A and B are shown apart, each in its own frame.
Chain A
Amino acid sequence: MKIAVLSCIHGNYEALNAVLLDLEQHKAEKIYCLGDLVGYGPYPNAVVEMIRSLDIPTCQGCWDEDIVEGLNACECSYPSLLAEQRGKLAHEWTHERIYPEVRDYLAQLPLSLREGDLCFTHGSPQNQHEYLLPEMNAFAALERVLSTGANTLFCGHTHVPYVRTLEAGSIRLRVDYKGESGEETVFTTPLRRIVNVGSVGEPRHGRPNATYVLYDTETDHVQLREVEYDYQKTCAAIIEQGLPPIFAWRLARGLEFAERADDPSHICER
């Protein structure tokens, strides 16, 4: 079976439609969505309604959580004052416009989904705000997959797609417990994989095109898709709807609107 996995639509209705068309042309039989339906973009309600009308299994993204729970992150979760100001502007804008039933829908989304040996999540299995970047320490990356029990972990949140294969992992282990020195054991792990599906509505790979992933469960083949769409329409809507015009400028260049620097190992000092 061919499945399509999308993430980070961020209220970009044009991009979502282009991706839905593309995956239909590629005969995807099932769609999964990894969250961040809203935030930044001009059409949060329309995007949620589309996802719901197609009955797409969806996990909760960091933006979906923040819209439901309110922004309670500390300032240091933003890498800069400017990103903080822009992030908050986008949050307020979305917060004011979102319909109550859309909020209710976002609130009940699960943090992760399982399907056979596949696991779907927004950031990492433990935290919607954690970035699984391709350069993350390989042992830490492996732990994220192993903690789910699945073979392949699909995630989003970084807005740049990649496939990372982790194999031939081994650790030599010696345990001293209750005064006794244990034997040395060698722990090995089978092949595991992280698939980051990029972003439909707020790409960050340097081009304005939408990205998502097609996965064939029979052949185990992952295809990173990049889909052109009329991003100028979204740019015009961003300005028309009163969102900061700089979002339109950044969208047209494939630059993230306002970075977040959420890091679970970060200990907040303020």
Chain B
Amino acid sequence: MWAILSGIEGNLTAYEAVLRDLKRQSVEIEALYILGDILGLQGPVEALLERLQSPQGGERTPQICAGFWEDQYLQMQGWGGGQPEAALSQYGSNVLMELEKRVPRSCLDWLRSLPFGFLELDCLLVHGSSVSVSDELSPQTPPWQLLDYLVRVEANFLFCGRLGQCFSVQLQNSQISSQVTTLDQPLIEQKATSSPRQIIGVGSVGRVSGLARYTLFYPTTGQIRCRTVEYAPNP
């Protein structure tokens, strides 16, 4: 079984609550993924980074990829060749100062080393979409677009975290006919079908105080469970 988390956003208490919940599971956790947004506005990051890098008795070492806040922070520090425009437009002009306060500069190299995502078995695990960390996939995203994200990387499951909520969209019986005319060849007709595919929002651990959400996944059966953990937030 895999545990898939996203959006801790500096909320160490919430992360600890999730780890306790994982220990209560009867099935062994074979992999622990964190799909970005370790950084964020919910709390200071230093202690959290320490905790991530030193798993305790029996905990899995988390596999971490970059998220929206990691990307925006790197932009802010002059890496990534752009400006943190998305953060500014969504969270206002104070956001950079707020972030700067919570993130130690010493973690810059570590942030830069984070991968974009993971492709494991037939699963793609990313923060946003297979194209960008800031894509916010949701049940309202046009199904053709969702299918395209999966088809691009030839995956059957796409786990993402940008929306911050648990959801699942199943795409089945996808079909389409296509005809191609060229200068030299006779008309080529094709009928394409696609195997069942699924997009899963894994929830957010730290965004809502007192309520951590994450996802459990059984790769052998394809079963998905959204877990909600209540905890007492730090005063």
Chains A and B directly touch (beta carbon < 8 Å): yes
A residues in contact (CB < 8 Å) with B: 126, 134, 137-143, 146-147, 160-179, 182, 187, 189, 198, 205-206, 211, 224, 226, 264-265, 267
Which of A166, A168, A171 touches B143 (beta carbons < 8 Å)?
A: A171
> Given A160-B182, A163-B180, are A168 and B175 neighbors across the interface (CB < 8 Å)?
yes
Inter-chain contacts of B184 with A (CB < 8 A):
205-206
- A89–B127 alpha-carbon span in the complex (Å): 39
Asked if A164 contacts B179 (CB within 8 A), the reply is yes
Asked if A224 contacts B181 (CB within 8 A), the reply is yes
Interface size class of B (residues with CB under 8 A): 35 or more
Which of B148, B171, B181, B194 touches A173 (beta carbons < 8 Å)?
A: B171
- A37–B144 alpha-carbon span in the complex (Å): 33
B:179-220 near A, CB below 8 Å: 179-184, 188, 190, 192, 194
User: Is chain B's binding surface mostly helix, strand, loop or mixed?
Assistant: strand
Inter-chain contacts of B180 with A (CB < 8 A):
134, 162-164
Inter-chain contacts of A189 with B (CB < 8 A):
144
A-B contact pairs, 9 of them (CB 8 A): A139-B174, A139-B176, A146-B142, A171-B171, A174-B172, A175-B169, A182-B139, A205-B184, A206-B184
- A189–B174 alpha-carbon span in the complex (Å): 11
Inter-chain contacts of A224 with B (CB < 8 A):
181-183
> Given A175-B167, A205-B183, are A139 and B144 neighbors across the interface (CB < 8 Å)?
yes
> Given A139-B144, A140-B148, are A175 and B139 neighbors across the interface (CB < 8 Å)?
yes
Q: Counting chain B CB atoms within 10 Å of each CB, which of A163, A175, A187 scores highest? A: A175
The chain B residue with its CB closest to the CB of A145 is: B144
Inter-chain contacts of B175 with A (CB < 8 A):
168-170
Which of A134, A166, A172 touches B176 (beta carbons < 8 Å)?
A: A166
Which of A140, A178, A226 touches B165 (beta carbons < 8 Å)?
A: A178
